[in-house]
Amino acid sequence: MLTVESLEVTYGSIRAVAGLDIAIGKGGVTALLGANGAGKSSTMSAIGGLLRPSGGRVLFDGADITGMPAHRVARRGLALVPEGRMVVGCLTVQENLDLSAYARGRRRTALVDEVYDLFPRLAERRAQTAALMSGGEQQMLAIGRALMTAPSVLLLDEPSMGLSPAMVDTVFSAITAIRASGMTMLLVEQNAALAFPLADHACLVQRGAIVAEGTPEELERDPATIARHLGIDEEPRPDRTSKGVTA
């Protein structure tokens, strides 16, 4: 369904992604794990159309979407939840959701009820300005906004980043429910303990290339390798977030 072949991303002389391959079948969930600067977000941005890769191909449902701008990628059914959420701060929760649906050429639909069922907190705050919401609430909104495009593939870039353990639980419960609905996903994480229960395939990324991959069970047999590539000196714990806690 989504195939990435020999992907390369460069920023001037910096080679952030150096020949990365990913293949995800319908309903599959692949986790990309790696330390800061490994090239995970650059990979997601290149797939989602936020930046043009300098090499390689991205194939979606058999079509070559390499270098296609983000709005056209989204229209094809590939929704990116970017690192840092990027909700429209001056709009309300409801307006952010509506805007996303309109961008996909839809009016407000029953999808909004599904989003509010998934995230009751968003329903309570539907009239609130997005900029005034906590980091966790904005992450919920970013995921909800992606769901409003009725995607067939969800690209989630570090959904746990900067969230308190309680918020991480809430957000990952929702992602688990989305996965149970059969959604195909590519999930970037630094916390293997969060990603492994969701994924059927996981890749460890270092310096823009995959250095180890397999099922989570296969990778878990070698925790030292995971720790080395994630830049940690101990096995990750489920209650630990990867970066600073803000809310």
Q: Kindly tell me which residue out of 6, 25, 36, 217 binds ligand ATP, with binding defined by CB under 6 A.
A: 36
Please tell me the distance from the alpha carbon of residue 159 to that of residue 190, in angstroms, as a whole number: 10
- Cβ atoms of 176 and 168 closer than 8 Å: no
Nearest to 91 by CA among 133, 147, 148, 134: 133
Burial environment of residue 61 by CB neighbours within 10 A (0 to 12, 13 to 18, 19 or more): middle
Please tell me the distance from the alpha carbon of residue 221 to that of residue 219, in angstroms, as a whole number: 5
Nearer to ligand ATP, 98 or 189 (CB): 189
Shortest distance, position 50 Cβ to ligand ATP, whole Å: 10
Shortest distance, position 140 Cβ to ligand ATP, whole Å: 20
Counting contacts by CB under 6 A, is residue 58 touching ligand ATP? no
Site mask for ligand ATP (CB under 6 A), range 7-26, x = bound: ----x--x-x----------
Q: Kindly tell me which residue out of 41, 139, 152, 241 binds ligand ATP, with binding defined by CB under 6 A.
A: 41
Shortest distance, position 52 Cβ to ligand ATP, whole Å: 13
CA atoms within 13 A on the CB side of 220: 15
Q: Kindly tell me which residue out of 20, 22, 30, 39 binds ligand ATP, with binding defined by CB under 6 A.
A: 39
Counting contacts by CB under 6 A, is residue 42 touching ligand ATP? yes
Nearer to ligand ATP, 38 or 68 (CB): 38
Counting contacts by CB under 6 A, is residue 204 touching ligand ATP? no
Site for ligand ATP in 173-192 (CB under 6 A): none
Q: What residues line the site for ligand ATP (CB under 6 A)?
A: 11, 14, 16, 34, 36-42, 83
